[in-house]
Each structure stands twice: as C-alpha cells, then as structure tokens.
Structure 1
Amino acid sequence: MTVVLGVDIGTYEAKGVLVRADGHIVAQHRRPHRVTVPAPGFLEHDPETVWWQGFITVATALLAESGLSAMDIAAVAVSGIGPCVLPIDAGGNPLRGAILYGVDARAEEQIAQLNDALGPVEVLRSGTSLTSQSAGPKVNWIEQHEPEVFARTAKFVTCQTFVTGRLTGRWIIDYATGAYYHPFYDQRTHTWNLDGNPGTLRIEQLPELGWSSDIAGEITAWAAAETGLRAGTPVLVGAPDAAAEALSAGVTSHRDMMLMYGSSHFLIEVLDTPHNSPNLWPAPFLFRDTYLLAAGTATAGSFTRWYADLLAPDAGGSDEVFGELADLAAKSPPGARGLLALPYLSGERTPLYDAGARGAFLGLSLDHNRGDLARAVVESIAHSAAAALRSFDAEGLPPQRIRAVGGGTKNRVWAQAVTDISGYPQEIVSGPGAAYGDAMLAARAVLHPRDLDQWVTPTATLVPRPEHTALYARQRELFDEFYRATRPILAGLTELRES
C-alpha cells in the first residue's frame, strides 16, 4: 500500500497521519507537549524534545499502528507553528529554546527600534506593520540580549524548517512563513532584505526560500537511522500550520477563508492577487501565484485550557475536561447571566495589537456558577474572533465562504457564538487538520491525485440565530468598553508586579 506521511507540530501537540492517494486515512497519532514560559510574555518550545522527538515519536507510532513499512511511504511533509525563531549552529543544533509566534510578546522594544530605523514606508516592505507576530524583531532581541548565542548562529529557522532540515540537510523556509520574518522579507521581490536593519544580521544567517508544495530533498542516511524512515524518501519544503490547515479544509479559492479554532484563533483568506495591509498579515500562499491575507488572536483555546486546568488541575488537559467545559457553558444562557470576560491572557494580536492586554472577569456575583464562567470564557474568545473578522471587512475583503477547523469546533457553544456575534455562517470541517493538509501537499507532489477537493467534506453548517442578534450587539459594545476602561488600571497593575 502506498501512503504519504503528514506531520504537524502544534502549540500543544504533534499530530500525524498516513493517507492513501484517495484521501483515506490509514492511521493517525497525536503526542501532547507543553509550552515553556520562562518569563511573563515569553513563550518557548524545546526544539529537541517538542519538535524533533515529536516528529520521530509520531512517525514511529504511525508505522506501528498501521502495520505498514517505511518503504510504503512515498513522501513526507511537515507543518509547524510559526513564525518561530530558533537559532541553530552550523551542525543544526539548537542554541536556545525556540521563541514562539505572536503569542510571545518579548520584542516590543525591538519593534520600536525597527520602526524608527526604517521609517513608516520601508517598514511596510513586507506588506504589513510590525507586531508580536513579526519574527524579525525577535531575531534582533536575541542579538541584543543574548549576543553570545547570536554570534554562534549559523541559521535562524522556524519549526518546519528545523524538522525538514534535520531530515534532508537542507535549511529552507517556505515563502508563507518567510514572509512573516518582517521586515526582513521583501514582498516586492520575494527575497530577503536587510537594508536599514539596526542589527548585524547577515543574509546567510537566514534560510533559503522555497514554495511549500516543492520537494526540499530526500531523507538522509543519518535521518533514516534517527527516525526509522527510508533513506531517499522525498520531503517537501513544508508549511505553516495554519496554511496547511486551510488546505485540509478545502480553502483554496479566491475569498475562501479558514477560521481555525486552536490555542489561538487564526484566519486565512485566500486571494488571487497580493494585498498589502498595515492591520492584517499578507503573504504568499502554498502554491505559486497564490496569496493570502491572515489575522490571528493571541488566545482562544488557551483560555479554555486555562479554565479547564482550574476545574481539574490533575487531568492534564484531557478531552473529557474540555467536554465538561463545553457542557457547563451550554447550561448558561447566551450573555452568561450578565457576566463578561476579557480573553487576553497573553496580550492580543488582531485587531488590537496590544501585547500588554490581559484577561479579566466583570460582573461576578454570588449567584454565578462555573457554567456562567465557562460561558463568559467562550463568549469572550468569540468576540475576539469576530473582531478579527471585522478587520477583513474593513479592507473591503469580506469572506465569501468560511470553513471552520480545529479542535475547538467540537465546542459548539464556542463556534455558534462566533457565528451569532459575527453574523457569518460557518461550514465545519472535521478531521486531523494541518497534518492532513501536509499529506495533501505530499500527495500532490508525488502521487498526483485527480482532485484534492474530493478529500474534503464539511460535516455541519452553522448559521446566525436572529433571536440573539440584539443581545450580542449590546454585549459587543460592553466588551469593547470593558477593554478600554480597564487598560489604564492594568498598566498600574503591571507596575506593581514589576516593582
């Protein structure tokens, strides 16, 4: 039996699938892992144990569970969270923990430095403003705070680049992720551009750029011994997890949008022409002559995980606990009986771009229960998703179709709240997500299936409920006012915490 292997390294777990040329999943496996928080606003992964060993564990388990041989795997594709920043030495060894994507907010000072150095016009050469989602300022943070690490760095890589590089010996980053190394990526020329950077980063310290759908190389003899895979197996360049997830949902046409329900919300709208925006994140998509416009919140499922850990701290984030949380939220009516929450436990990305924002509850009384708190948590992250959606409306690019993906879609209270608050219907696509999109990329490269769209079937459609329109419109006003009113208080609390 001929199959392809897709593996996705996410924020909290690695997932993998073996898939036949007709889209049938032969085996799937997941491996949970943890995020390291060395300081407030700092989020990291251990690249050896989380990324590399995560890939090996998943690939090994898939072969064992399927009964297949490594000889049956026609190609491998890997996706990962991004854009992450990992410095490696000339031998491909990590020099520190990997700094995560926009949820890590350590580089605010470096963002200001780059804005001053480049000026308002040139800073947009990557197509967007600098935010915590930008990898470039985090590279400069390493240079300024860890000069000995910077001096030893041969390459700065992201998650899928690290795994693909370990497999093939070629350090290559996909355009879709490279574009988020702003302002070091120039969208005008699709090349690296370090002009005006106040640091000493050299072009040769950045990976080669390539398309996600291209083959990067073959598994080396060393990697075969490490992983149990066959030497010579083709490995694709790889992709950011969100773009791979979009492909897994059949989001490939102009103005199609993927809304991902994960540790954060991530939104990708596919376009047939590039579109610059200071408020959203433009980039190439997975294939030549395709583009995307993206947005992301800082917290979503991570807020539900936080609350679930409070409910059952010894459960280890099990599916049963998350199911309990959804059941609790369903027992509280829309509006959470006058309880309101802010979901910004790790700042906020689109549209606030406020790394210092934090979470809060308002309106607590003695008659509120765990269900009301659960409903308030869910509605708060639904408001943040709806706010990100409005950013596309403001660009004159409202989505024509939204397909919702990710583990959070199983919480229908959450998904329905997003539809009710935003006014947009959603088609739910269930499945293994980004790992399946990786398999689609691999199959496209080596097996050439006739129609990949036939691999994807929505399982449900959510439509706005008009009876809740007025309630959620008023709640949105209060939600926005809650954030504005508490922001100055939060600044004072931050001063107390740091004193």
Structure 2
Amino acid sequence: MAYTLGIDIGTYETKGVLVDFEGGIVAQAARGHQMLVPQPGWAEHRPEEDWWGDFIYVCQALLRDSCVDPRDIKAVACSAIGPCMLPVDAEGTPLMNGVLYGVDGRAEAEVRELTDRIGEDVLIARCGNALTSQSVGPKILWLKRHRPELYAQTAHVLTSTSFLVQRLTGEVVIDHYTAANFAPLYDVDTQTWADDLADDILPLDKLPRLLWSGEVAGCITPAAAAETGLAPGTPVTAGTIDAAAEAFSVGVDRPGDMMMMYGSTIFIILRAAERVADPRIWYAPWLFDGEHASMAGLATSGTLTHWFRDQIARDLDPADAFQALANEAAASPPGANGLLQLPYFSGERTPIHDVHAKGALFGLNLTHTRGDMYRALIEGIAYGTRHVTDTFAELGHAPERLLAVGGGTKNALWLQATSDITGIDQVVCEKTTGASYGDAFLAALAIGGVAREDIVQWNPVAETITATPCVVYETGYRLFRRLYEQTKDIARVL
C-alpha cells in the first residue's frame, strides 16, 4: 500500500490525516493549542510548541494508530495559518513568537506609513493588494523598529508553513500563494521578490525561496525523521496556507468556484479566471502557475463561538456546550428577537479593513435569553459574510458554485443562516476534514500519484444547503451595515 500524510496547523488546533491513494482516510489525529493575546490587537503562537511540537505529536499519533510502515508514506505536505511573521536565526531557531495573520494589528502605523509613501494604487498594481493587517511587509518593518536587537539577528523571515518545511527538510522555501501576502515585497506580475517599493524593510536574501505548492521542496532529513518517526528521504511539498489547502480539499479548482471555510475565522477563496484588483479584497496567484485567486476573510468567527461558550455558558459541559447552545438558539426566531451582533472582536479584515472595529450586541432588553444572544452571534457572522459576498458580486465575480468546509459545517444553524442571509446555496462535500485532507491530496499530486480532477472521487458532494429568502434578514442586514457605520467613531476611541 502507498499513502500520503497531510498535517495542518490551525489557530486553535493541529489536525493530521493519513490517506491512501484512493482518498480513504486511514487515520486521523489532532491536538489543541492556544492563541496568545499579549495585549489587545496582538495575536501570537509559540513556534516550537504550537507548530513544530504539534506536528511531531500528530505525526507520531498517525503512525501509531495506523500501524503504517513509514516507508509506505510516499509524500508529506503541510499547511498552516497564514500569513504569519517569524524571524529565525542562522540555525533556524525562532527569535520570538510567531506573529499571526490579519487578527494581529500591531503594525497599523507601518501599514499607514507605507501606504502613504507608496500609494494604494501602486500597491494594488504591483503587489495585487492594498496593505492591511494581513500584510507581512509592515510587520517586518514593525520588527525592525520595535525589536531592533532581534531584527539584527534575523537570518530569514518565515511564515508558519515555511517553518515546518524548514524543520522537515532544511530548505527555506515559501509558496507563491503565501508570498503574495508579503506586500510590498512581492511583485505579482514577475512573481518574484522585489524591494524597489520599499528597500528599508528587509534584504531580499532573508526571504524564502519561491516555489509552487505542488512542487517538492526537499526530503525528510535524518534529524526530522528521528523526531517525527517519518522515513528519511520522504518527499515534502512546499506547502501553503491552510485556507488554500482547505479549498482544494473540496474541489475548488475551476474559475467561479468559491470556498467558504467555517473555522476560527470565516475565510473565502474564489478561483478567478483573471486577476481581480480591489482594495477591499486580497489577491494571490493560485497554487499552480498561471492561475488566480481572490480572497476575503472575517477576523473572528468560530473564535466567537468559543468566546461565548467560555464566558457566557460556563454552566455547560464544554464537551456538549456547542450543541446545547445551538439548541437554545434554534428556539429563537430569525432575527434573534431584535438583537444585532457586530462580530468585530479582533477588529475586522475584509471588506472594511478596520483594526479599530469593536464587537457589539445591540438591542438587548429584559426578555432576551442566552439563546437569542447566541443566535444573534451566528447571524452577525453571517451578515459579515454577506458583506463579503456582496463585495464580490459588485466586482462582477459572484460565485458560480459555493463549497462549504471546516468544523463549523457541523453547526446546521450557522450553515442555514449563512445561506439564507447571503442568498447563496452551499455545497457540502462528504469529507469536511479540511486543510489536512487537501494537504494529503497535494502531496499525492506532487509525486504524480493522482491527477487534479481526482479530487471529485476523493471527496464527492454529500448535501446542498438551499437558501430560503427571509424579510427579517434583509432588514437585519441593512441595520447591521448601519450599526457599524454609526458606531465606528466611538469604537476608534474606546
């Protein structure tokens, strides 16, 4: 038998799968970790413990539970949250915690300064993206200014996936899809690193070597084999960001396909026939040369459900809390009896790009229940999602097919509310394992074990969530948009 292994590092959990070449899952494993918030607006992980430590734990669990001979694993691929910023020294040792993706807004001043200096039009034309909290370039500049002693020791700046691949193979690489988030240091036309827009951020030789996600970066080293249990010499792909692997896991592979990832954040990827340039959304080359993707993401989604459970539902058994809360919310009607939730608990990413945006629960009175509040939270996330899908539609890129994936697909209320509020049907595939499953497929693809179209056989469609129009939601969406506009000045000074 022959197998591939995929491991994904998420915001709160690492997941791994061992898969045969027909797409059958032989073993699964997972391990949780925390997102560190050292101060408001910051978000970090510990690279040794949360990234590499989790990888080792999950890898060893897969080998133990499956009893598969490591020599029968023909390729490995990994993905992780991104884009992150991690400076390492010449030995590859992390110099600080990994700075996370757009939920970390510490470089707001650098974003503003670089945008003023370069110009948003130039940034979009050259880099494909305006600078936001999602951009790595400003965070490297923040490192240079606020941690100069660490900047001076930096041999390379990695992202989360790059760090894993470096530990596995010794190679310092990054895929183009991830690299596009390093604006203003990545040129989307030449698909190379470039510093002519800002030569004061970082010497380009400190950035990883560029590869496509389907390319092999290197092979498992003897040192990595000793730690993980994998066989030395096993090919390892360049990897990618978790959302891209998640999209590929459900067959997002043709123009017009859109993925809706229900995870710690809502993340959306549209496979586009052409490059879409607009400051409200993000652009990147897709996983393969000559292909395009447009992305969007909320800052807090599944993270909010965890917050609500931990703060408002402490009386419930954590193991059963989400189902109990879903049952309570189901007893509340659409519109949550007049409650509106702004889900901006870590600022907001697309399409408003406002690091100062705040969460709010508006309309409370003495008749409201916890179920009303939880339903309002779910609907608030769905309203934020509609703001994104409406933006794509305004740009002439409404999805032709919407595929849902991620842990949140187990929440029927959330799925249905999202379809009803956006007005878009959603396809749910048989396997909602997510990014790690997409990694396993990409690993098989990299060594010629499968063709791209084989993902349809690996992961067929299981059900369709049909959108049901609702007048209450139309009114709620208009009020949701107004509530943000009428409170954003207050939020900025809180």
Alignment TM-score > 0.5, same fold = yes
Could you report, residue by residue, the CA deviation over 1:276-313 in whole angstroms, capped at 9, with x for unpaired residues? 22221111111222210111111111111110112444
Q: 2:269 corresponds to which residue?
A: 268
In structure 2, distance between residues paired with 1:60 and 1:447 = 26
5 Å-filtered alignment, 1:122-161, equals 122-124=122-124, 125-161=126-162
How far apart are 1:488 and its partner, in Å?
2.2
In structure 2, distance between residues paired with 1:234 and 1:165 = 13
Could you report, residue by residue, the CA deviation over 1:38-94 in whole angstroms, capped at 9, with x for unpaired residues? 110000000000000010000000011111121121110000110000000010100
5 Å-filtered alignment, 1:16-27, equals 16-27=16-27
In structure 2, distance between residues paired with 1:473 and 1:198 = 48
SS class of match (1:42):
coil
Q: 1:348 corresponds to which residue?
A: 348
CA contact (8 A) 1:84 1:135 kept: yes
Q: 2:391 corresponds to which residue?
A: 391
In structure 1, distance between residues paired with 2:457 and 2:480 = 41
Number of aligned residue pairs? 490
Q: 2:456 corresponds to which residue?
A: 453
In structure 2, distance between residues paired with 1:199 and 1:309 = 43
Q: 2:79 corresponds to which residue?
A: 79
Q: 1:212 corresponds to which residue?
A: 213
How far apart are 1:315 and its partner, in Å?
7.5
Q: 1:421 corresponds to which residue?
A: 421
Q: 2:29 corresponds to which residue?
A: 29
CA contact (8 A) 1:114 1:198 kept: no
In structure 2, distance between residues paired with 1:95 and 1:413 = 43
How far apart are 1:447 and its partner, in Å?
4.8
CA contact (8 A) 1:215 1:234 kept: yes
| Matching of residue 175 in structure 1 with residue 176 in structure 2 | yes
User: Any gaps of 5 or more consecutive residues in structure 1?
Assistant: 495-499
What amino acid sits opposite 1:103 in the alignment?
Answer: V
SS class of match (1:14):
strand
Q: 2:281 corresponds to which residue?
A: 280
Q: 1:98 corresponds to which residue?
A: 98
How far apart are 1:392 and its partner, in Å?
0.7
SS class of match (1:123):
helix
Q: 2:332 corresponds to which residue?
A: 332
How far apart are 1:462 and its partner, in Å?
1.1
SS class of match (2:439):
helix
In structure 2, distance between residues paired with 1:475 and 1:7 = 39
User: Does 5-14 or 443-452 show the bigger shift?
Assistant: 443-452
In structure 2, distance between residues paired with 1:315 and 1:19 = 36
CA contact (8 A) 1:343 1:377 kept: yes
CA contact (8 A) 1:272 1:289 kept: no
Q: 1:497 corresponds to which residue?
A: none
SS class of match (1:333):
coil
In structure 2, distance between residues paired with 1:134 and 1:284 = 15
| Matching of residue 473 in structure 1 with residue 474 in structure 2 | yes
CA change 1:84–1:348 in 2 (3 A) is same
SS class of match (1:37):
coil
What amino acid sits opposite 1:385 in the alignment?
Answer: T
5 Å-filtered alignment, 1:43-122, equals 43-122=43-122
CA contact (8 A) 1:117 1:198 kept: no
Could you report, residue by residue, the CA deviation over 1:136-156 in whole angstroms, capped at 9, with x for unpaired residues? 111111111101111111111
In structure 2, distance between residues paired with 1:330 and 1:239 = 37
* Percentage of identical aligned residues: 48
CA change 1:447–1:28 in 2 (3 A) is farther
User: Does 254-263 or 321-330 show the bigger shift?
Assistant: 321-330
CA contact (8 A) 2:249 2:455 kept: no
How far apart are 1:319 and its partner, in Å?
5.0
In structure 2, distance between residues paired with 1:319 and 1:8 = 23
What amino acid sits opposite 1:420 in the alignment?
Answer: D
State TM-score, norm by structure 2. Answer: 0.97
CA contact (8 A) 2:45 2:99 kept: yes
In structure 1, distance between residues paired with 2:482 and 2:276 = 31
SS class of match (2:43):
strand
User: Does 120-129 or 365-374 show the bigger shift?
Assistant: 120-129
User: Does 82-91 or 446-455 show the bigger shift?
Assistant: 446-455
SS class of match (2:196):
coil
Quote the RMSD (CA, aligned, Å).
1.4
Q: 1:321 corresponds to which residue?
A: 321
Could you report, residue by residue, the CA deviation over 1:455-478 in whole angstroms, capped at 9, with x for unpaired residues? 112222111213x2x111111111
In structure 2, distance between residues paired with 1:325 and 1:157 = 39
Q: 1:251 corresponds to which residue?
A: 252
User: Any gaps of 5 or more consecutive residues in structure 2?
Assistant: none
CA contact (8 A) 1:392 1:398 kept: yes
CA change 1:235–1:251 in 2 (3 A) is same
State TM-score, norm by structure 1. Answer: 0.96
CA contact (8 A) 1:21 1:447 kept: no
How far apart are 1:490 and its partner, in Å?
2.2
Q: 2:243 corresponds to which residue?
A: 242
Q: 1:197 corresponds to which residue?
A: 198
SS class of match (2:437):
helix
CA change 1:334–1:315 in 2 (3 A) is closer
What amino acid sits opposite 1:135 in the alignment?
Answer: V
